[in-house]
Amino acid sequence: MLYQFSYVQRHAFSKAYAEMLNARAAVCQDRPEWAAHMRYPAGEDVLDHTCNPVYFVSMDESGRHMASMRIMPTTGDTVLRHNFRDVFINCPDITSPDVWEYSLFCSSVDTTTPSGRYAATDVTKAVCRRALESGIRQIVGVYDTGLFRIARRLGWEPSTIATDGDTGELLVGVWDVTPLTLRHIAELQLLGV
């Protein structure tokens, strides 16, 4: 089951919100660049409290987290601006009402398995659909090379616009939001690719 809700609506989706936070905390504890910005044990960051992001949470029949992501406008504070400004020196400061930022994609299941890929695709399709309905033309975000591989498998690859100067493991990319993109993601899901 897929849930979409904003931070101010989280109480109506308390189980999905709590499952997502637990998954985020588990993923971020192994990534010091992300963990430094999370408030454990809650798994929240300041942007959850100040930006009223929109969450997309896929859960299995038992109510366990499978995959999730959050998006928020770039006209306010963002992960890129708040947490990674010094990591991506040559990255432009992207601020536009029709460009939103994704952050904290996480999956509790292996995205190379059919069920894991299906859950990640459901979240990705929901983000793309919501963006189209809201007049959002692009999604920008910080990601690592592992997420790039997942995005490629799901059929929605970002265009990389910046890399960290040290390892090249962290990147900033832009995902174009078009009806064709949504159709492509849905077709790949139907094919089970």
pLDDT tens per residue across span 21-40 = 988 887 777 666 565 555 54
Burial (CB count within 10 angstroms: exposed 0-12, middle 13-18, buried 19+), residue 17? buried
For residue 33, the model assigns a pLDDT of 59
For residue 40, the model assigns a pLDDT of 47
Contact 155, 188 (CB under 8 A): yes
For residue 56, the model assigns a pLDDT of 97
- Which of the residues in the chain have pLDDT under 70? 30-41, 193
> Which among 184, 189, 181, 183 is positioned nearest to 117, based on CA atoms?
189
What pTM, to 2 d.p., does this model score? 0.89
Instruction: Count other Cβ atoms within 10 Å, centred on residue 122.
Output: 19
